[in-house]
Amino acid sequence: MDKPIPDLELNDGTQLPALGFGTYKLNGRAGVDTIVRAMRNGYGLLDSAFNYENEGAVGAAVKASGLARDTIRVTSKLPGRRHRYAEARATVEESLFRTGLDHLDIYLIHWPNPKTGLYVEAWQALVDAQKAGLVRTIGVCNFLPEHIERIVAETGVVPAINQVELHPYFPQAEQLAFDRSKGIVTQAWSPLGRANDIIRNETIGEIARRHGRSIPQIILRWQVQQGAVPLPKATSDERQVENRSVFDFELSRSDMDTIASLARPDGRLADQDPARYEEF
C-alpha cells in the first residue's frame, strides 16, 4: 500500500484524515461490505448523513471492520428540514442511535436552508450536542461566508469544517480562502464530479500522463494541495486504493493553475434549490 493518509489538525484540537470516503448510496449489506473494504484499504474518515439513510450501514461497517473505534472518524449531517432547536437535537440523537456507536466523531449542518433562516438554531443545537459528548467535532456544509459569519457572531463558536462542492469545474477559490482565514478546514463533496466529463478531461489527462497517474488521482491531489479534504466514493478495491494513493507525488504550480483554469459557469452540480441540496 502507498503512503498512509496523513492527518490534519482541526481548530477544536482533533485530528482529521486529509482524505475521506464518501458513502452516498451505499446502503444495506452491499453498502456495509463496500465500507468495510474501504476501511481495510486505508480510509479512516467515513462521510454519511441522516438523508443518506445509511447511518446504520456505516455503524455496522465500523463494527464489522475489526478496527479500533478510535482509528475511524464517522461523520453525519443534519437535514435542512430539522433546523428548529428541539428537532435538531433529537436528530443528532437519532443519528447516534442509528449508527449504534457511542459517539459520532463529526456532525455537520447539511446546508443553511436560508429560506427558513433557522440555521443559527441548528448550530446552537450542535454546539450543545458537542458539549454533551454526543459528537466530538461540529461543522457545516454548503455555508457561504455570510452564513458562517452569522453563526459565529451569534454563538461565538467557529465551525471546524465546511463541506462544499469543489472540483475543477467549480474550484471555489474564494470559499477556500475564506474558510482558511477562519481556521476552518474545507471538505469537498463529489470531488470527481457527478454525471459530467471531469474524469475524461483531456487537459487533466495530459497532466496525468506526465505524472504517470490517473485523472482521478490528479484531481484529488489538486484538492489536497489546496488544503481541501476530498471525499471520493468507489466500490472496487482497485479504485479505493487508487483514490487514496495521492500522497507520494506533487503537482507543480503550473499544474495547479491549469486545473483551476477549467472553471466554467455551468460547472456547479447543485444550486440554491433546497430539493437539490436535500439529495446530499
Q: How far apart are CA 231 and CA 166, in angstroms?
A: 10
Q: Which residue has the cell 439529495?
A: 279
Strands 161-165 and 135-141, how do they pair?
parallel
CB 216 within 8 A of CB 243: yes
Q: CB neighbours of 130 closer than 8 A, spacing ≥ 6? A: 107, 136, 137, 138
Q: How far apart are CA 15 and CA 11, in angstroms?
A: 9
Residue 88: strand, helix, or coil: helix
119 counts as catalytic: no
The residues pairing with 22 across neighbouring beta strands, listed in sequence order, are 47
Q: How far apart are CA 88 and CA 225, in angstroms?
A: 34
Q: Which of 43, 52, 107, 169 is catalytic?
A: 52
CB 167 within 8 A of CB 191: yes
CB 113 within 8 A of CB 78: no
Positions marked catalytic? 52
